[in-house]
Structure 1
């Protein structure tokens, strides 16, 4: 069976990102035919419509990385009750110029973790609104709002809690089925 390529967009640039740990945990629970690639967001310039005439190389790379994926996984923290700037910027870059939306039709899921008790709920809702506008079919259930503790998920994605592992496995199973529905 061929590999199903998943582009992972982590909305945190922090070296010890909790959301990067969550992404790794999801990857470990996925079947072997799913190949996850974390897209580089830290070198992107701030989007400007001036790019539309001649996109910078890093922006073109991001668009091609998204276009080459079979599915998307957005893993986001919550900054001030919304989407982190780095993630919104990446979305703006890859969806422009008008008529060249690299995200259109790509199946996706949105998950996140935070030390706050609401576990990224507001950021995820804002992100889902943006993705709906960009024609990204997004898995609705289960929602994944993880209240993070430092000992919950290790740097390599190992999950300490059996309950969290079982919950995330349920999400991964639904996500895999969702992506396969759109497989070409």
Structure 2
């Protein structure tokens, strides 16, 4: 199999974001070439989309949106790392998804394999935001990774200095990533 090209979007633009740290951890784990003793040939590029404006169809397709769209279209799969704000999807992430969802049934997300992960300080992590994201993605006809889910609660204790350090969480992340990369390899766009 050829190297899987994955892209990641963090649902938080904050410099010390737990979700951006989670994506950096994903990058590092994939760069190791194996997970749980099994070979993995995948790389993750984290997309910085902070220049994407609020969705407004009157703007046409700004350059920042074209860059986001091209990055998504060039990927075999996508990993969305979402916090949970007020029981839901962060506005910046939903905005980026809204831009990338056009045109309908021809968008960068159409039939694209997507995995959802998340980190939050709360006890149940990002379960509600992940559920909402699944609904949005299914509505765009994305292929959403079904199982296992990676939902990190208590992120403030498990992520230190921008790195996921909790051994049990790292082991579960490896299980998630191994299953996700194997699934993407089976369902990726031709």
TM-score of the superposition, structure 2-length normalised? 0.88
Question: Which residue of structure 2 lines up, in the alignment, with residue 153 of structure 1?
Answer: 159
Q: Distance in 2 between matches of 1:2 and 1:98?
A: 29
Residue correspondence of structure 1 range 74-153 to structure 2 within 5 A: 74-153=80-159
Deviation digits for residues 116-151 of structure 1 (CA, Å, limit 9, x no counterpart): 111011100000000001111111111111113434
Q: Distance in 2 between matches of 1:26 and 1:169?
A: 9
TM-score of the superposition, structure 1-length normalised? 0.91
Contact 2:104-2:140 at 8 Å conserved across structures: no
Q: Would the alpha carbon gap of residues 138 and 99 (structure 1) be closer, same or farther in structure 2, given more than 3 Å must change?
A: closer
Q: Distance in 2 between matches of 1:6 and 1:98?
A: 22
How far off its partner does 1:60 sit?
1.0
How far off its partner does 1:99 sit?
4.8
Structure with a larger share of its residues in strand: 2
Q: Distance in 2 between matches of 1:161 and 1:147?
A: 12
Gaps spanning 5+ residues in structure 1: where? none
146-155 or 7-16, larger mean C-alpha shift:
146-155
Q: Distance in 2 between matches of 1:149 and 1:8?
A: 19
Residue among 169, 172, 177 paired with 2:177: 172
Question: Which residue of structure 2 lines up, in the alignment, with residue 13 of structure 1?
Answer: 13
Question: Which residue of structure 1 lines up, in the alignment, with residue 58 of structure 2?
Answer: 50
Aligned residue pair count:
181
Deviation digits for residues 63-85 of structure 1 (CA, Å, limit 9, x no counterpart): 11111111000100001111000
Question: Which residue of structure 1 lines up, in the alignment, with residue 77 of structure 2?
Answer: 71
The CA RMSD over aligned residues, in Å, is 1.7
Q: Distance in 2 between matches of 1:67 and 1:163?
A: 34
Gaps spanning 5+ residues in structure 2: where? 34-40
